Amino acid sequence: MNFASDNTAGIAPEILQALVAANDGYALGYGNDDLTRSVERRLGEIFERDVAVFLVPTGTAANALALAHFSPPWGAVFAHAEAHIMTDECGAPEFFGGGLKLVGLPGVGCKLAPETLAAALAQYSGHAPHQVVPAALSLTQASEAGTIYRADEIAALARLAHARGMAVHMDGARFANALTRLNASAADITWRSGVDVLSFGATKGGAMAAEAVVFFDPAKAEHMGERRKRAGHLLSKHRFVSAQFQAFLADDCWLRLARHANAMADRLASGLAAAGHAPVWPVEANLVFVILPKAVEGRLKAAGARYYVRSSDSLPDGVALGPDELLVRLVASFSTRDADVDRFVELAAKA
Site for a second copy in 54-73 (CB under 8 A): 56-62, 64-65, 72-73
Map the footprint of a second copy across residues 170-229, applying CB under 8 A.
203-204, 208-209, 223, 225-229
Determine the Cα–Cα distance for residues 158 and 167; give it in Å rounded to an integer: 8
Contact call for residue 231 and a second copy (CB under 8 A)? yes
Out of 237, 282, 316, 324, point to the residue binding a second copy (CB under 8 A).
237
Indicate whether 101 belongs to the interface with a second copy (CB under 8 A). yes
Q: What is the nearest approach in angstroms of a second copy to the Cβ of residue 20? A: 6
Q: Which phi-psi region, left, alpha or beta, contains residue 214 (left: φ > 0; alpha: ψ -120 to 50)?
A: beta
| Closer Cβ to a second copy, 72 or 276, answer by number | 72
Q: How many CB atoms lie within 10 A of CB 154?
A: 24
For a second copy, the binding residues in 123-162 under the rule CB under 8 A are 127-133
Within 259-288, the residues that bind a second copy by CB under 8 A are none
Distance CA 67, CA 55 (A): 15
Among 37, 41, 99, 316, binds a second copy (CB under 8 A): 99
Q: Out of 37, 41, 230, 294, which residue is the one contacting a second copy (CB under 8 A)? A: 230
- Nearest by Cα to 151 from 107, 177, 188, 118: 188
> Shortest gap between Cβ of 320 and a second copy (angstroms)?
17
Q: Per-residue x/- marks for a second copy, 321-350, CB under 8 A?
A: --------------x---------------
Which residues touch 151 (CB under 8 Å, ≥6 apart)? 182, 184, 188, 189, 192, 193
Q: How far is the CB of 128 from a second copy (least distance, A)?
A: 6
Q: Which is nearer to a second copy, 193 or 244 (CB)?
A: 244
Nearer to a second copy, 7 or 303 (CB): 7
- Interface pick for a second copy out of 34, 37, 45, 87 (rule CB under 8 A): 87
Tell me which residues in 37-56 interact with a second copy (CB under 8 A): 56
Residue placing its CB nearer to a second copy in the complex, 204 or 277 = 204
How many amino acids of this chain bind a second copy (CB under 8 A)?
77
Task: Please report, in angstroms and rounded to a whole number, the separation of the first and last CA atoms in the chain.
Answer: 20
Nearest CA to 295 out of 313, 314, 277 is that of 277
- Torsion angles phi and psi, residue 247, rounded to 5: -70, -40
Q: Per CB under 8 A, does 25 bind a second copy?
A: yes
Using the rule CB under 8 A, give the single segment among 26-34, 42-50, 253-261, 287-295 that binds a second copy: 26-34
Taking the C-alpha atoms of residue 181 and residue 179, their distance in angstroms, rounded to an integer, is 5
3-state secondary structure of 235: coil
Closer CB to a second copy, 57 or 279, in the complex: 57
Amino acid at 131: Q
Q: How far apart are CA 333 and CA 12, in angstroms?
A: 10
* Alpha helices for the chain (secondary structure H): 13-21, 34-47, 59-70, 84-87, 92-96, 114-122, 151-163, 175-181, 224-230, 239-249, 253-274, 294-302, 338-349
Under rule CB under 8 A, residue 235 binds a second copy: yes
Which residues lie closer than 8 Å to 241 by C-beta, 6 or more apart?
55, 56, 57, 209, 210, 235
